[in-house]
Amino acid sequence: MISKIRLIGRPLSAAVLAQPQLPTYSNCYSTLVSPSATTASSSAAAIEAERSIRDGPRNDWSRDEIKSIYDSPLLDLLFHGAQVHRHAQNFREVQQCTLLSIKTGGCSEDCSYCPQSSRYDTGLKAQKLMNKDAVLEAATKAKEAGSMRFCMGAAWRDTIGRKTNFNQILEYVKEIRNMGMEVCCTLGMLEKQQALELKRAGLTAYNHNLDTSREYYPNIITTRTYDERLETLKYVREAGINVCSGGIIGLGEAEEDRVGLLHTLATLPTHPESVPINALLAVKGTPLQDQKPVEIWEMIRMIATARIIMPKAMVRLSAGRVRFSIPEQALCFLAGANSIFTGEKLLTTPNNDYDADQYMFKLLGLIPKAPDSSELALKDVEAEDIEEVISSSG
């Protein structure tokens, strides 16, 4: 027990790892398949957290391994998520991102959770792309409020055939980067060339969620495939832009689908830089309007599992945070979440009040994460290389 307590917040020493009472993966795995079979000292969460701390990130996870972690007794999972978090991250730092809908509604896609789809009658009024002054004003406000990353979302299937709008967005990216903020976009599916152009403009990250497991995905969206989503992530990654990709729980999926989503993310060639974990905010008029709200325990299970299997990723407590109290959010931060969206709205749904977030940071002793200065500096170094790739890819 004493050796266990000593493990908190520091790497495992060889001596501790060598202790016979600590189980190894191989001798415990067969007992870990179901939660009922786990014990306090041999849960998959404990074993994999220790391995993660010792060996660092891996992306050869099997689905069964992730399921075993996910199925670990909840408090054990929370505890070990916290251990990995304290080892791999600065546990007091929380990234604050502001998400602005720069082009709202009227989307041709049929994502069942989304009020911006033109297929559902949600009362949302479609709006054209916001002009530069309005976007920069919002970015300035976000910066003044302590946000380190500004994310722009446009309700489009993709950006193909939207040359004028796309060029405008490239301008916005450049301007906001020059304000010293990290910049993220979520504009639907991208082509390779567009990813390169976004990189050249200085884009830090591109968000494209997988939403759910490959198996459950056709129940949620029929207008584009899982593989198309993965292809966009590939172009983003290859352009040297950070990948931001996660999913939504509460869509009516089974726990197996949550494991499937995490498995796909954790076995990408490199783990996403950011992994948003969203809890569905059911919107009247969408096909998922009657889904029952996600419980905090479900969020904690997702967050802690994500933290253990992708230790270096920013795990973002995203949509649905508005429904959780400060003590509930504190458990999410403890489990391994280290990023939130701030600002009045998350695209079109309500978000937490700014003052309430400030109070929560103070109360919990959290500090806002600063923009990544090494990544900001890279922009200039890489600019010439990207120019070359763009001209050669036509």
Q: Report the catalytic residues.
A: 107, 111, 114, 151, 184, 244, 316
228/385 with CB nearer ligand SF4: 228
Among 152, 23, 79, CA closest to 304: 79
Binding flag, residue 257, ligand SF4 (CB under 6 A): no
Binding flag, residue 109, ligand SF4 (CB under 6 A): yes
126/370 with CB nearer ligand SF4: 126
Among 71, 23, 27, 67, CA closest to 47: 23
Distances (CA, A) of 257 to 10, 59, 152: 33, 19, 28
Contact 100, 136 (CB under 8 A): no
CB of 197 to ligand SF4, least distance (A): 20
Q: Convert residues 141-170 into a mask of x (bound to ligand SF4 by CB under 6 A) and - (unbound).
A: --------------x-x-------------
d(C-alpha 96, C-alpha 108), whole Å: 30
**Of positions 48, 53, 181, 188, contacts ligand SF4 by CB under 6 A:** 188
79/156 with CB nearer ligand SF4: 156
Among 64, 68, 96, CA closest to 80: 68
- CA Rg, the chain, in Å? 21
Handedness of CA 383, 388, 393, 394 (dihedral sign): positive
Binding flag, residue 107, ligand SF4 (CB under 6 A): yes
Binding flag, residue 116, ligand SF4 (CB under 6 A): yes
Binding flag, residue 189, ligand SF4 (CB under 6 A): no
Beta bridge partners of 345: 350
**Of positions 12, 84, 102, 114, contacts ligand SF4 by CB under 6 A:** 114
Three-class secondary structure of residue 124 per DSSP: coil
CB of 248 to ligand SF4, least distance (A): 10
Which one of 106-114, 160-168, 250-258, 265-273 is the stretch in contact with ligand SF4 (CB under 6 A)? 106-114
Which one of 41-49, 113-121, 200-208, 232-240 is the stretch in contact with ligand SF4 (CB under 6 A)? 113-121
Beta bridge partners of 389: none
CB of 157 to ligand SF4, least distance (A): 6
d(C-alpha 350, C-alpha 170), whole Å: 27
Contact 133, 377 (CB under 8 A): no
The footprint of ligand SF4 (CB under 6 A) covers: 107, 109, 111, 114, 116-117, 155, 157, 188
